[in-house]
Amino acid sequence: MRARASGPAARRAWAWARLLGGLSILALLVWQVGTGPFLDGVRGIDRSALAAAFGISMLTTVCCAWRWSLVAGVLGVRLPLGRAVAAYYRAQFLNTTLPGGVAGDVHRAVRHGLDISDVRLAVHAVVAERSIGLAVQVTATLVLLAVFPSPVRPYLPPVLAVLVALALGVWLATRALTRTRPAADPARLGGRLRDRLHAAVAGLRAAPFTRRAWAGIVAASALGVVGHLVLFLLAARTAGATAPLTLLVPLTQLALLAMALPVSFAGWGPREGVAAWAFGAAGMTATQGVTTAVTYGVLVLVAALPGAAVLLARTLRPRVALRGGADV
């Protein structure tokens, strides 16, 4: 019983750690720079910025949904682009309003799995889609940091060495997982986790990723990265940043990458902390960095509101169907 209870307890502890980590970063920033930058990040947003954010976010969402549809198709699951876009909007809304920042991705994976009667395969598709997107984002960040001047450039050689070591470790681990399948012990969380990892890795490696599929997936991921970057640059200009784009591009891309860290409150926390450090180290001010990050967070939240409509429509659909059947 203790072994069975340790799994949910560990997950709850990790969820609380992520939540408290993000809130702690925000509290530290408030202590350092005050509440002014946070309020300025909201006050500076006007109608033109909101309209531009809606347009940019729509194109970015379509690109990410296209990537998901392509990955699902490679894994043998038909996912129409229209349905993928609606589900992605819903996931973005949940990610930006619920603690942790991943609830939306879990929801769309499970919801899609129930629709196709195969939750495991749907989860594999979402994990692969998000992993590929993250890999492209990391690559784009490293390229931008190497090309444009930034306070991170002197640290790129050791960072690249660490990333290469991590990539090698992941590659060796995946080969080991696909060669030998450990026996799953239902009484131990570690055994179940290894079994699930083995199934996911084996399924993804066996998937027929053709050159055409890879080209579409990488193109969709690259367009998604560009969309997020353009939206962050819009937030910087809206927040009053007048620095040249050659300086803002690597700083904002670095802040975007920080959002992938597992310690956040619905995406808030690491983004603001990294932006404050990066802007300050680049010769601007930490206050400007916080204001820019807050502006970006608000624009993303407002641009994700169509996901609330999708979620509401999905919730009300069974009730409407039930009433229609009763009338008949």
Other residues' Cβ atoms within 10 Å of the Cβ of residue 323: 9
Looking at residue 261, its amino acid is: L
24 within domain boundaries: no
- The total number of structural domains that make up the chain: 1
Instruction: State which residues form the domain around 258.
Output: 46-154+214-311
At residue 201, the pLDDT reads: 55
> Are the CB atoms for 91 and 300 separated by under 8 Å?
no
21 within domain boundaries: no
> Are the CB atoms for 128 and 71 separated by under 8 Å?
yes
Sign of CA dihedral 281, 283, 287, 292: negative
> Are the CB atoms for 277 and 271 separated by under 8 Å?
no
4 within domain boundaries: no
Encode 234-248 in three state secondary structure: HHHHHCCCCCCHHHH
265 backbone dihedrals φ, ψ, rounded to 5°: -115, 95
C-alpha–C-alpha distance, residues 223 and 64, integer Å? 8
At residue 170, the pLDDT reads: 57
236 within domain boundaries: yes
Joined together, the tokens standing for residue 91 give 């996931």
* pTM for this entry: 0.82
At residue 25, the pLDDT reads: 83
At residue 171, the pLDDT reads: 58
Block means of pLDDT (10 residues each) for the chain, 328 residues, are 57 70 83 89 92 96 96 89 95 87 87 89 90 90 86 71 64 57 44 50 59 89 96 95 91 89 79 91 90 95 92 69 42
Of all helices (H) and strands (E), which one includes residue 28?
A: helix 2-33
At residue 50, the pLDDT reads: 95
At residue 186, the pLDDT reads: 41
> Are the CB atoms for 232 and 252 separated by under 8 Å?
yes
186 within domain boundaries: no
262 within domain boundaries: yes
35 within domain boundaries: no
Among candidates 117, 54, 128, which has minimal Cα distance to 89? Answer: 54
C-alpha–C-alpha distance, residues 250 and 229, integer Å? 9
C-alpha–C-alpha distance, residues 96 and 298, integer Å? 10
54 within domain boundaries: yes
C-alpha–C-alpha distance, residues 324 and 193, integer Å? 44
